[in-house]
Structure 1
Amino acid sequence: MLEFRTSGFNPYSVKYSPFFDSRLAVSAGANFGLVGNGRLYVLNLTPNGIACEKFFETQDCLFDLTWSEQHENQLLTAGGDGSIKLFDIGVGEFPVAGWQEHQREVFAVHWNLLEKQTFLSSSWDGTVKIWTPERKESLMTLPVHSCVYSAQYSPHHPQIVTCVSRDSHLRVFDLRSKPSSQYHLQFAIPIHGPPKMALPQVNRSVGPTECLTHDWNKYRDSVLATGGVDGVVKTFDLRMPSGPVNLLPGHDYAVRKLSWSPHLSDVLLSASYDMTCRVWTDGSNVDKGGNGGGLGRELGRMDRHTEFAMGVDWCLFGAEGWCSTCAWDERVLVWDVREYMRPGP
């Protein structure tokens, strides 16, 4: 296990570069993001451990980041002051571009993996915005009317956007559809709905709870997972948009970040306020229907963090188990998930 310390700054998000297997970026804020500056770290994995290649200072906390899909040295940040900034590793100490339309904190940014000239942002102001680096104004605003904690483009369809929010719904937008009173909204799926199959071992939520994170399955184009303050990872199939397919309980506190494996279709990682990062199977590898409706379970956990675990990301290259996590203990860890997995029942 490799470790890097972000002394004086508490990390919120960690992301592997889509171009280099040895490069990571971390967004962080002083004083747990409540007040003070932010910092963006660019890290390199070297034979002697993790080294800081460069860092950028900002005036407010950085809640999230995403690597550019167009330029290997550029990345976007989501700011607590409502700003989005584009940094270039090879250009000075300041951002090379910036955007300021959101009225509150920007909590997530995501680059389109397929139509690489666009990216999105989501904010506590209740909106998701679509952007292109070439314009100062957003291309489109998607109203959610509830604090949006996480938004993403589908990795399978460049015009499909999803988000999760305070009101306990997973929303799916199709930007190809004609604008209407729904502003491209296709589904608003209740995250707190009952699962499709009977799961007697699960203590079901008594009502809506805030949803903090979600992620698309990289192999099945209709499957997503969500996590929130009830501590339960839930999987969804957009072919059955009335509620979750599967529930994966286990975390003691809120799930802060999720990431499906880029190598295995049934495996995902979670980071939680209970200070653990856990690896799960959704059961689809034994489910003949292929919709994730098999009995999922926890495969293992890593409990080396000593504060809220905030971020997790898989390495896209090499062996299938390598990942990075970050937490409010001012530590970024790089580790092999396979070393923490238990044998199956």
Structure 2
Amino acid sequence: MEYRTTGFNGYAVQYSPFVNSSIAVGAAANFGLVGNGRLYFFDLTAQGIVAQKWYNTQDAIYDIAYSEQNANQLIAGCGDGTVKLFDTKVPDYPIMEWKEHNREVYAVAWNLVSKDTFVSSSWDGTIKLYSPERPQALLTLPTHSCTYSTHFSPHSPSIISSVTSDSHLRVFDLRTPASASNHLVHLIPIHGHAPQQGPSYNPLRPRHPPSEALTHDWNKYRDTTVATAGVDTIIRTFDIRHHKHGATAHLEGHKYAVRRIAWSPHAPDMLLSASYDMTCRVWSDRMATPNITPGSHAPSQGAELGRMDVHTEFVTGVDWCLFGGQGWCASTAWDERLLVWDARSVMNQR
């Protein structure tokens, strides 16, 4: 199924965690460089995708996240540094707004466990923690680097993670004393050195030099596994218990930067990616395969299971449906299109 968001280039898409036929898209005019944003709410019907409601904003919408408390509410991160809370029962305007960041808000995420807080991250080098019932942020976590992606762990209400332009995965645990570390418990370099191979090995010249990390996601079944991706096109998975050994798996195949990744809610080894090469790809990290040991020094080479190449511009958002058939997903892109499709259909073609 397809819907054209005419005049607005897609940036983020998310299925409702409450209703399998509801989906939202955050978009921006003029590719997010200048102009308004728009938040769409859609119903998936037998007649196709139907726009039920939309809101215009003064600046681009770069990311969205459904509330885990209220099926009618959603937060949006905007280019003017604001985070806005919308309620579909209230027409025209957001019901709350936070202006805590002084640069673009590039990611928002809801707490999946306690369901009473959410976070945002920004190009200003900070992560902010909020309650939807409080007018100011509850906490600021510094990253000191442009922060493109932030998430709560789906296994703990107290663990927040981020990836940044300095090529690091940061993990914060709010149960720890703040002290000088600001709750930081792991600082993981995403681009490690290549394994030592022969006399030509040079630790000062790694195979993959550091580049900006744009996206990451927590595995829904393995509580210490995180996937990261970004400008260098490679998706890496890490076991944070053994991160000093580097990535546990490399998933290689995209031709340009990977903008968004999402672990499957249905399978522990499967994830979905969206890239500037105009494709969405389905992968297995193969960590469920016998004889591949987490923490080993040599990363597993993950397998591409299939790809969808219908989009004609940068693909910037992708999400899995939590309900029904275990392959339904959605993608949005700069080609002004929302596509709803079945990942199993592209997997069968390979």
Q: TM-score, normalised by structure 2?
A: 0.94
Q: Which residue identity lines up with residue 224 of structure 1 in the other structure?
A: V
What's the offset of the Cα at 1:181?
A: 1.2
Aligned to 1:238: 240
Instruction: Check if 1:302 corresponds to 2:308.
Output: yes
Q: Which residue identity lines up with residue 211 of structure 1 in the other structure?
A: A
| Kept after mapping to 1: 8 A contact 2:41/2:54 | yes
Instruction: Check if 1:262 corresponds to 2:282.
Output: no
Question: 1:24-173 to 2 correspondence within 5 Å?
Answer: 24-173=23-172
What's the offset of the Cα at 1:295?
A: 3.7
- Cα distance in structure 1, aligned partners of 2:17 and 2:349: 31
Q: Which residue identity lines up with residue 236 of structure 2 in the other structure?
A: K
Counterpart of 1:275 (choices 254, 278, 284) is 278
Partner-residue secondary structure (3-state), 1:283: coil
Q: Which residue identity lines up with residue 114 of structure 1 in the other structure?
A: V
Aligned to 1:253: 256
Partner-residue secondary structure (3-state), 2:242: coil
- Cα distance in structure 1, aligned partners of 2:207 and 2:20: 39
Aligned to 2:337: 331
Q: Which residue identity lines up with residue 273 of structure 2 in the other structure?
A: S
Please give the root-mean-square deviation of Cα atoms over the aligned residues, in Å. 1.7
What's the offset of the Cα at 1:183?
A: 0.4
Partner-residue secondary structure (3-state), 1:239: helix
| Kept after mapping to 2: 8 A contact 1:195/1:245 | no
Q: Judging changes above 3 Å, is the alpha-carbon distance between structure 1 residues 120 and 162 closer, same or farther for their aligned structure 2 residues?
A: same
Aligned to 2:226: 224
- Cα distance in structure 2, aligned partners of 1:159 and 1:174: 6
- Cα distance in structure 2, aligned partners of 1:323 and 1:84: 26
| Kept after mapping to 2: 8 A contact 1:196/1:244 | no
| Kept after mapping to 2: 8 A contact 1:10/1:329 | yes
- Cα distance in structure 2, aligned partners of 1:187 and 1:194: 18
Instruction: Check if 1:312 corresponds to 2:315.
Output: no
Q: Judging changes above 3 Å, is the alpha-carbon distance between structure 1 residues 58 and 294 closer, same or farther for their aligned structure 2 residues?
A: same
| Number of residue equivalences | 339
- Cα distance in structure 2, aligned partners of 1:88 and 1:141: 25
Q: Which residue identity lines up with residue 278 of structure 1 in the other structure?
A: R
- Cα distance in structure 1, aligned partners of 2:280 and 2:179: 41
Aligned to 1:18: 17
Q: Which residue identity lines up with residue 215 of structure 1 in the other structure?
A: D
| Kept after mapping to 1: 8 A contact 2:2/2:339 | yes
Q: Judging changes above 3 Å, is the alpha-carbon distance between structure 1 residues 298 and 197 closer, same or farther for their aligned structure 2 residues?
A: farther
| Kept after mapping to 1: 8 A contact 2:250/2:300 | no
| Kept after mapping to 2: 8 A contact 1:87/1:96 | yes
Q: Judging changes above 3 Å, is the alpha-carbon distance between structure 1 residues 50 and 231 closer, same or farther for their aligned structure 2 residues?
A: same
- Cα distance in structure 1, aligned partners of 2:207 and 2:231: 10
- Cα distance in structure 2, aligned partners of 1:197 and 1:115: 44
Deviations 1:256-286 (A, max 9, x none): 0000000000000000000000000000221
Aligned to 2:203: none
- Cα distance in structure 1, aligned partners of 2:308 and 2:183: 40
What's the offset of the Cα at 1:254?
A: 0.1
| Kept after mapping to 2: 8 A contact 1:195/1:247 | no
Q: Judging changes above 3 Å, is the alpha-carbon distance between structure 1 residues 132 and 205 closer, same or farther for their aligned structure 2 residues?
A: farther
Deviations 1:61-114 (A, max 9, x none): 000000001100000000000000000001111000010010100000000011
Once the two structures are overlaid, the 10-residue window that deviates more, 287-296 or 271-280, is 287-296
Q: Which residue identity lines up with residue 10 of structure 2 in the other structure?
A: P
Q: Which residue identity lines up with residue 167 of structure 1 in the other structure?
A: D
Unpaired runs of 5+ in structure 1?
A: 199-203
Q: Judging changes above 3 Å, is the alpha-carbon distance between structure 1 residues 215 and 197 closer, same or farther for their aligned structure 2 residues?
A: farther
Identical amino acids, percent of aligned pairs: 57
- Cα distance in structure 1, aligned partners of 2:247 and 2:113: 27
- Cα distance in structure 1, aligned partners of 2:289 and 2:169: 26
